[in-house]
Structure 1
Amino acid sequence: MDAALAPIIGNQGVVALYRRSLHLCTARHPQFAATCASVPASMDVLALGSVLVEQSDADALLFSEVMLTIFYELLTTLIGPSLTARLLRDVWGPSLSDTPSQEISP
Structure 2
Amino acid sequence: MGAVLTPIIGQQGVAALYRRTFHLCVSTYPRLAGIYDSVPAAMDLIALKSVLVEQNETDALFFGEVLLTTLYELLTTLIGPSLTTRLLVDVWQPSSSDTSSQEISP
The normalised TM-score by structure 2 is 0.87
Q: Distance in 1 between matches of 2:5 and 2:66?
A: 19
Q: Distance in 2 between matches of 1:10 and 1:83?
A: 17
C-alpha deviation, 1:67, in angstroms: 0.7
Q: Which runs of 5+ in 1 are unaligned?
A: none
* Partner of residue 20, structure 2: 20
Q: Deviations over 1:13-44 (max 9, x none)?
A: 11111000111111100000001000111100
Q: Which has the larger radius of gyration?
A: 1
* Partner of residue 72, structure 1: 72
The normalised TM-score by structure 1 is 0.87
| RMSD value, Cα | 2.0
Q: Distance in 1 between matches of 2:84 and 2:103?
A: 24
SS of residue matched to 1:40: coil
Percent of residue pairs identical: 62
Q: How does 1:85-96 map to 2 (within 5 A)?
A: 85-94=85-94
* Partner of residue 7, structure 1: 7
SS of residue matched to 1:34: helix
* Partner of residue 55, structure 1: 55
C-alpha deviation, 1:101, in angstroms: 9.2
